[in-house]
Structure formats: structure tokens, C-alpha cells
Amino acid sequence: MSGRPLVEACVEGIEAAAAADRAGDDRLELCASLVEDGTTPSAGTLAVARSRVAIPIVAMVRPRGGGFVYSSAELEVMERDVAAAREAGAAGIATGALTEDGRVNEEALRALVRAAGSLPVTFHRAFDHVADPAAALETLITLGARRVLTSGGASSARAGIDTLAALGRQAGDRIAIVAGGHVDAAAARDLVAAGIRELHVGNDRARLASVIAVVRAAAR
């Protein structure tokens, strides 16, 4: 991987995964039900996608849409889904869980990181619902998460750019900040200029192509 910013496409299904790979994407986040902001894809979908694309696939592990406070049964399902994703060839896991008072659910995340084994874990946009982002970031670092996907708590990554930049400074090289939320070419330019090194782009082929063009230009 060169020093240019990295682009991760959020996709649903095998056709979308293959299209993103052909477009020059660096990494995929594979989901089901993007209408619900992404839920866990089947192990079969993940395995077939893995056989048809060359780039790494991060598997979403989220048992349902809605909030991020889960029952014990849901958390058990998530642990099993992490293990299934690992067996199906995922290169990483995107997941997250919160407590009722807006903190990272440490017990749950510890178990999910353990289930992931050597796979890097991304704490997904549940992060945008935490009460104290700076404290939550330190918790995630302590628990072994490798990336945080966030808009900086704003309606879009571009609107949250100041918070994203601050989180990036706090994180240093301890955890990667992945900027997500309506990232288009204009937002990508601003985010890269602010020092953000990883961009998360929604399931829109034209938008993905425009963001890839921006990051390639930035590397020249």
C-alpha cells in the first residue's frame, strides 16, 4: 500500500463488490440491507464475494437495523457471526455495541475482538452515538480495535471535519480514523487536506469513481 489515502467502499451483494473492485477500490465493507445502514451478510455471500474480488473484504457484523444496544442473545449471535465471517475469508470485521448511557460496551467489544482473532476490527458508526468521543476512542484503543468509522458525530463527514481531524491527532498511529458519511469528491478533497487517510464511500458507483480519482490525484 502506497502513502496515498485509502478508499473503502460500502457495498451490498456480489455484483456491487465486483464493480467496486473493478473501479480500483482499496477495500470493501460488505453488508446486507443497506436500507438499514447495513447488517450482517450471509456467510455464503461473503465466501462467493471473496472468490470473485481481489481486494480485502471487511464483513459487517450487525444483527439488525436500529440502535446499537444489544441483548445478550444478540451479542451471542454477533460473536458467532464474527467466527463465521473469519471462516468465510473476511479480511476484517466491522461491528460495534454501546451501553444504554452512550458508552462503548466494553464487555461485548472485548468478546468480539477475541472472536475476530487476528482479523482487524473496525468500530463502525455506532461511534457517532457515543457521549464522549475522546474517551470512547481511548477505550477502543485499549480493547484492541484497529479502526473507527465515523462522521465525527455530524450529519456528514464533511460537516464533522474538525472533529475528525481532532480524533486523528488524538489517535496518532494507535488506531485508524476512517471518515464516512456522504463522502463525495468535494468532501474527499477537504478530508484529505485535513489529514484523513482513510475514506468510506457509500454504495454509489459514480461517487466511488470520483473519490478514487481525488485520492489518486492527491498522491501525484
* Superfamily for the 6-218 domain: Copper homeostasis (CutC) domain (3.20.20.380)
pLDDT at 218: 85
pLDDT at 219: 80
| DSSP class of 147 | E
- Is residue 216's pLDDT more than 50? yes
Higher pLDDT, 27 or 216: 27
Angle, alpha carbons 197-203-60 (nearest 5°): 75
- pLDDT tens figures, 101-116: 999 999 999 999 999 9
Q: How far apart are CA 24 and CA 17, in angstroms?
A: 11
pLDDT at 212: 96
Q: Cell numbers of 52, please? A: 470473485
Q: Cell numbers of 126, please? A: 455506532
What DSSP string runs through 82-99?
HHHHHHTT-SEEEE--B-
Residue 67 CB partners (closer than 8 Å, separation 6+):
98, 129
For 1, 63, 212, the CA distances from 23, given in Å and listed in that order, are: 17, 29, 8
- pLDDT tens figures, 184-198: 999 999 999 999 999
Residue 71 burial (C-beta neighbours within 10 Å; 0-12, 13-18, 19+): exposed
Higher pLDDT, 158 or 4: 158
- pLDDT tens figures, 10-48: 999 999 999 999 999 999 999 999 999 999 999 999 999
Residue 117 CB partners (closer than 8 Å, separation 6+):
86
Asked whether the beta carbons of 98 and 125 are under 8 A apart, the reply is: no
- Is residue 3's pLDDT more than 90? no
CA-CA-CA-CA dihedral for 214, 145, 36, 58, to nearest 10: 60
- pLDDT tens figures, 109-167: 999 999 999 999 999 999 999 999 999 999 999 999 999 999 999 999 999 999 999 99
Phi-psi region at 148: left, alpha or beta (left = phi > 0; alpha = psi -120 to 50):
beta
